[in-house]
Amino acid sequence: MSPLDRLTHLIAKLPGLGPRSARRVVLFLLKRREALLVPLIQALSETAEAVQQCPVCGNWDVQSPCAICRETARDATLLCVVEDVADLWALERSGAFKGRYHVLGGTLSALDGVRPADLRIEALVQRVTTDHIGEVILALSATVEGQTTAHYVAQQLAATGAKVSHLAHGLPVGGELDYLDDGTLTAALQARR
Ligand SMILES: [Zn+2]
Protein backbone atom coordinates (compact mmCIF):
# COMPACT_ATOMS: atom_id res chain seq x y z
CA MET A 1 0.00 0.00 0.00
CA SER A 2 1.39 3.43 -0.91
CA PRO A 3 1.76 6.04 1.86
CA LEU A 4 -1.11 8.00 0.36
CA ASP A 5 -3.38 4.96 0.27
CA ARG A 6 -2.41 4.07 3.84
CA LEU A 7 -3.14 7.62 5.06
CA THR A 8 -6.48 7.70 3.24
CA HIS A 9 -7.38 4.29 4.65
CA LEU A 10 -6.58 5.45 8.22
CA ILE A 11 -8.40 8.77 7.96
CA ALA A 12 -11.48 6.95 6.60
CA LYS A 13 -11.66 5.15 9.98
CA LEU A 14 -12.24 8.45 11.84
CA PRO A 15 -15.79 9.11 13.11
CA GLY A 16 -18.02 10.76 10.52
CA LEU A 17 -15.60 10.18 7.65
CA GLY A 18 -15.70 7.67 4.81
CA PRO A 19 -13.37 6.94 1.86
CA ARG A 20 -14.55 9.93 -0.18
CA SER A 21 -14.16 12.51 2.60
CA ALA A 22 -10.86 10.86 3.60
CA ARG A 23 -9.49 11.54 0.11
CA ARG A 24 -10.57 15.17 0.46
CA VAL A 25 -8.85 15.45 3.86
CA VAL A 26 -5.63 13.97 2.44
CA LEU A 27 -5.61 16.45 -0.45
CA PHE A 28 -6.33 19.28 1.98
CA LEU A 29 -3.35 18.24 4.13
CA LEU A 30 -1.00 17.86 1.17
CA LYS A 31 -1.77 21.36 -0.01
CA ARG A 32 -1.03 22.72 3.49
CA ARG A 33 2.14 20.83 4.28
CA GLU A 34 3.80 23.43 6.54
CA ALA A 35 0.67 25.02 7.98
CA LEU A 36 -1.19 21.80 8.80
CA LEU A 37 0.37 18.49 7.82
CA VAL A 38 3.66 18.87 9.72
CA PRO A 39 2.10 20.39 12.89
CA LEU A 40 -0.52 17.64 12.81
CA ILE A 41 2.15 14.94 12.71
CA GLN A 42 3.86 16.62 15.67
CA ALA A 43 0.62 16.92 17.68
CA LEU A 44 -0.33 13.29 16.97
CA SER A 45 3.09 12.08 18.01
CA GLU A 46 3.13 14.16 21.21
CA THR A 47 -0.37 12.99 22.06
CA ALA A 48 0.49 9.33 21.53
CA GLU A 49 3.60 9.70 23.65
CA ALA A 50 2.41 11.87 26.53
CA VAL A 51 -1.35 11.62 26.97
CA GLN A 52 -2.68 8.85 29.18
CA GLN A 53 -5.94 7.98 30.89
CA CYS A 54 -6.26 9.18 34.49
CA PRO A 55 -6.42 6.11 36.77
CA VAL A 56 -8.72 7.97 39.17
CA CYS A 57 -11.41 9.54 36.97
CA GLY A 58 -10.81 8.27 33.43
CA ASN A 59 -10.01 11.67 31.86
CA TRP A 60 -7.16 12.05 29.34
CA ASP A 61 -4.18 14.20 30.36
CA VAL A 62 -0.39 14.45 30.24
CA GLN A 63 -0.14 14.07 34.00
CA SER A 64 -1.39 11.25 36.15
CA PRO A 65 -3.63 11.77 38.09
CA CYS A 66 -5.08 14.38 35.71
CA ALA A 67 -5.15 18.16 36.31
CA ILE A 68 -8.79 18.04 37.45
CA CYS A 69 -8.12 15.34 40.04
CA ARG A 70 -5.10 17.34 41.30
CA GLU A 71 -6.86 20.70 41.51
CA THR A 72 -7.24 21.34 45.25
CA ALA A 73 -9.75 24.19 44.84
CA ARG A 74 -12.40 21.73 43.70
CA ASP A 75 -15.09 20.35 46.02
CA ALA A 76 -13.68 16.93 46.89
CA THR A 77 -17.01 15.70 48.27
CA LEU A 78 -18.90 16.22 45.00
CA LEU A 79 -18.58 13.68 42.20
CA CYS A 80 -20.15 13.86 38.74
CA VAL A 81 -20.59 10.56 36.89
CA VAL A 82 -20.53 10.73 33.08
CA GLU A 83 -20.59 8.13 30.30
CA ASP A 84 -17.73 9.42 28.25
CA VAL A 85 -14.76 11.80 28.44
CA ALA A 86 -16.56 13.97 25.84
CA ASP A 87 -19.27 14.61 28.47
CA LEU A 88 -16.63 15.53 31.07
CA TRP A 89 -15.11 18.02 28.63
CA ALA A 90 -18.56 19.47 27.84
CA LEU A 91 -19.22 20.04 31.55
CA GLU A 92 -15.78 21.59 32.00
CA ARG A 93 -16.39 23.95 29.08
CA SER A 94 -19.65 25.10 30.70
CA GLY A 95 -17.74 25.95 33.89
CA ALA A 96 -20.85 25.06 35.89
CA PHE A 97 -19.36 22.21 37.90
CA LYS A 98 -16.69 22.57 40.57
CA GLY A 99 -16.41 19.03 41.84
CA ARG A 100 -14.60 16.02 40.42
CA TYR A 101 -15.59 13.46 37.79
CA HIS A 102 -15.88 9.75 37.22
CA VAL A 103 -16.04 8.44 33.65
CA LEU A 104 -17.96 5.15 33.33
CA GLY A 105 -16.73 4.39 29.82
CA GLY A 106 -20.16 3.73 28.30
CA THR A 107 -23.67 2.64 29.23
CA LEU A 108 -25.18 -0.72 30.05
CA SER A 109 -26.65 -2.30 26.94
CA ALA A 110 -28.07 -5.80 26.59
CA LEU A 111 -28.09 -5.30 22.84
CA ASP A 112 -24.40 -4.45 22.58
CA GLY A 113 -23.42 -6.87 25.34
CA VAL A 114 -22.18 -4.18 27.75
CA ARG A 115 -22.40 -5.56 31.30
CA PRO A 116 -21.72 -3.79 34.64
CA ALA A 117 -18.25 -5.37 34.76
CA ASP A 118 -17.40 -3.65 31.46
CA LEU A 119 -17.92 -0.19 33.00
CA ARG A 120 -16.00 1.50 35.81
CA ILE A 121 -18.86 1.01 38.30
CA GLU A 122 -17.01 -1.00 40.93
CA ALA A 123 -14.21 1.60 40.92
CA LEU A 124 -16.88 4.27 41.42
CA VAL A 125 -18.41 2.56 44.47
CA GLN A 126 -14.93 2.10 45.93
CA ARG A 127 -14.02 5.72 45.30
CA VAL A 128 -17.23 7.07 46.85
CA THR A 129 -16.56 4.99 49.96
CA THR A 130 -12.85 5.69 50.46
CA ASP A 131 -12.95 9.38 49.42
CA HIS A 132 -16.00 10.08 51.62
CA ILE A 133 -17.99 11.54 48.71
CA GLY A 134 -21.10 13.37 49.96
CA GLU A 135 -23.02 13.67 46.70
CA VAL A 136 -22.87 11.80 43.41
CA ILE A 137 -24.49 13.51 40.41
CA LEU A 138 -25.46 11.07 37.67
CA ALA A 139 -25.06 13.10 34.49
CA LEU A 140 -26.04 10.33 32.09
CA SER A 141 -27.91 10.84 28.86
CA ALA A 142 -31.69 10.62 28.63
CA THR A 143 -31.54 7.53 26.42
CA VAL A 144 -32.96 4.19 27.61
CA GLU A 145 -29.40 2.90 28.08
CA GLY A 146 -28.38 6.05 29.96
CA GLN A 147 -31.30 5.83 32.35
CA THR A 148 -30.93 2.06 32.85
CA THR A 149 -27.31 2.70 33.74
CA ALA A 150 -28.23 5.55 36.10
CA HIS A 151 -30.73 3.28 37.87
CA TYR A 152 -28.17 0.49 38.24
CA VAL A 153 -25.42 2.82 39.47
CA ALA A 154 -27.79 4.43 42.00
CA GLN A 155 -28.60 0.95 43.35
CA GLN A 156 -24.92 0.12 43.67
CA LEU A 157 -24.27 3.39 45.51
CA ALA A 158 -27.17 2.97 47.95
CA ALA A 159 -25.01 1.26 50.58
CA THR A 160 -22.35 4.00 50.54
CA GLY A 161 -24.66 6.55 52.17
CA ALA A 162 -23.81 9.20 49.58
CA LYS A 163 -26.63 11.36 48.26
CA VAL A 164 -27.38 10.44 44.64
CA SER A 165 -28.89 13.10 42.35
CA HIS A 166 -29.76 13.20 38.66
CA LEU A 167 -29.52 15.95 36.09
CA ALA A 168 -32.81 17.84 35.80
CA HIS A 169 -35.20 17.15 32.95
CA GLY A 170 -34.68 19.27 29.91
CA LEU A 171 -32.03 17.06 28.39
CA PRO A 172 -33.16 16.11 24.88
CA VAL A 173 -34.23 12.48 24.69
CA GLY A 174 -31.53 10.46 23.00
CA GLY A 175 -29.24 13.45 23.23
CA GLU A 176 -25.75 13.24 24.53
CA LEU A 177 -24.26 15.77 26.92
CA ASP A 178 -21.58 16.74 24.45
CA TYR A 179 -24.18 18.19 22.09
CA LEU A 180 -25.83 20.44 24.67
CA ASP A 181 -25.00 24.12 24.81
CA ASP A 182 -23.40 25.48 27.98
CA GLY A 183 -26.55 27.23 29.21
CA THR A 184 -28.66 24.07 29.02
CA LEU A 185 -25.95 22.13 30.82
CA THR A 186 -25.66 24.70 33.57
CA ALA A 187 -29.44 24.77 34.09
CA ALA A 188 -29.66 20.97 34.13
CA LEU A 189 -26.88 20.83 36.70
CA GLN A 190 -28.30 23.52 38.98
CA ALA A 191 -31.81 22.03 38.96
CA ARG A 192 -30.60 18.49 39.72
CA ARG A 193 -32.86 16.39 41.91
ZN1 LIG B 1 -8.55 12.43 36.89
What pLDDT was estimated at residue 91? 87
Q: What separation in Å is there between the alpha carbon of 68 and the centre of ligand 1?
A: 6
DSSP state, residue 150: H
Radius of gyration of the chain (CA): 19
What pLDDT was estimated at residue 142? 81
Q: What separation in Å is there between the alpha carbon of 102 and the centre of ligand 1?
A: 8
Please list the rounded mean pLDDT of every run of 10 residues in the chain (193 residues).
Answer: 95 94 97 98 97 97 96 95 91 89 94 93 96 94 88 95 82 58 74 74
Q: What separation in Å is there between the alpha carbon of 103 and the centre of ligand 1?
A: 9
Q: What separation in Å is there between the alpha carbon of 77 and the centre of ligand 1?
A: 15
This prediction's pTM? 0.83
What pLDDT was estimated at residue 188? 74
What pLDDT was estimated at residue 177? 67
Q: What separation in Å is there between the alpha carbon of 110 and the centre of ligand 1?
A: 29
Q: What separation in Å is there between the alpha carbon of 127 and the centre of ligand 1?
A: 12
Q: What separation in Å is there between the alpha carbon of 7 and the centre of ligand 1?
A: 33
Q: What separation in Å is there between the alpha carbon of 22 and the centre of ligand 1?
A: 33
Q: What separation in Å is there between the alpha carbon of 106 and the centre of ligand 1?
A: 17
What pLDDT was estimated at residue 18? 93
Q: Count other C-beta atoms under 10 Å from residue 66's C-beta.
A: 23
Q: What separation in Å is there between the alpha carbon of 113 and the centre of ligand 1?
A: 27
Q: What separation in Å is there between the alpha carbon of 70 and the centre of ligand 1?
A: 7
Residues 100, 120 contacting (CB under 8 angstroms): no
Side-chain-side CA neighbours of 60 within 13 Å: the count stands at: 11
Q: What separation in Å is there between the alpha carbon of 53 and the centre of ligand 1?
A: 8
193 burial (CB, 10 Å; 0-12 / 13-18 / 19+) is exposed
137 φ, ψ to 5°?
-100, 120
What pLDDT was estimated at residue 173? 44
